[in-house]
Structure 1
Amino acid sequence: MNNKAEIEQSDRGYPTGMVLWLLRAEALAMFAASTALFFFLGGEFWLFAVLFFAPDLSFVGYVLGKKAGAALYNVVHSYALPAVLAITGVLTGLTILWQIGLIFVAHAAFDRSLGYGLKYAAGFRHTHLGPIGNLPRAAATFAQQGDV
């Protein structure tokens, strides 16, 4: 499954090659499953549409700095918070909680399927799935050396 180039790049600190594509495919499956479950259980389209991009409001944390921005982004975009919301909603009978949980899972999975991973304090473009976009020349050099 791993070719020589993938093995040589495996020390970069983030996934590459087939591992990266597998993680993105897995995220796409999570997006499809959470979205389908939301609607199968009777979720309303308007609620899904209104709340789907709500987790992106966590970008406001970057006003406080890279570290605070990354921490807030990661809390909102991890699967842990939505799981707690969904379980709490099911156990308490509060429909809105499990609906929000499924919508937030769908959002986080959608982002990851596009390559937007959890953030490092180094900046928004530094994620657990690798750098986003065209990094400045110096950062790209470090990325090639495995330091980003």
Structure 2
Amino acid sequence: MSGAAEGGVRALLRVEGACVLFAACWLYAQSGYGWGVFALCFLAPDLAFLGYLAGPRVGACCYNATHAHVGAIACFVAGRLLAQPALLVAGLIWIAHVGFDRALGYGLKYASGFGDTHLGRIGRAARRAP
């Protein structure tokens, strides 16, 4: 699959994801919200997997919409600008989730299938690759 990061670039993107995860968790710790809220909401972006029930193109679109930093950062900034703590911490949890996924090597999806990501192939697609 072309378009996937390889080698040192892939490793750097995964380290960057870990840094984003830790920064978001550090900021969340300052928020005063409990870690139970964090744990409860952390996997919420993965509900986008349901888009794959409509096929790989729709699934990739849904997944990418909830796993790109732009929406998560917009949520965080809106919470800050509007002085809405719940929106701010939702953004932090969302940012942490995206960072976690990137650190594990789960990248944005291509319409060719769930296993084809910008960070390389994952799952069965990775095992089939030469």
* TM-score, normalisation: structure 1: 0.82
Q: Which has the higher contact order (CA 8 A, sep 6+)?
A: 2
- Of 18, 21, 24 in structure 2, the residue corresponding to residue 34 of structure 1 is 24
Distance (Å, rounded) in 1 between the aligned partners of 2:126 and 2:40: 35
Q: Which amino acid aligns with 1:130?
A: G
Report 1:37-56 matches (<5 A): 37-56=27-46
Alignment gaps of 5+ in structure 1 = 1-10, 142-148
Q: 1:65: which partner in 2?
A: 55
| CA-atom RMSD in angstroms | 1.7
Q: 2:114: which partner in 1?
A: 124
- Of 60, 72, 81 in structure 2, the residue corresponding to residue 82 of structure 1 is 72
Does the residue aligned with 2:5 lie in a helix, a strand or coil? coil
Q: 1:140: which partner in 2?
A: 129
Residue deviations 1:24-77 (CA, integer Å, cap 9, x gap): 001100000001101112222111010001111110000111111100100101
Note closer, same or farther for the CA distance 1:102–1:136 as it changes in structure 2 (3 Å cut): closer
Q: Give 1 or 2 for the bigger CA radius of gyration.
A: 1
Runs of 4+ off more than 2 Å: 133-137
Does the residue aligned with 2:57 lie in a helix, a strand or coil? helix
Q: 2:94: which partner in 1?
A: 104
Q: Which amino acid aligns with 1:76?
A: T
* TM-score, normalisation: structure 2: 0.93
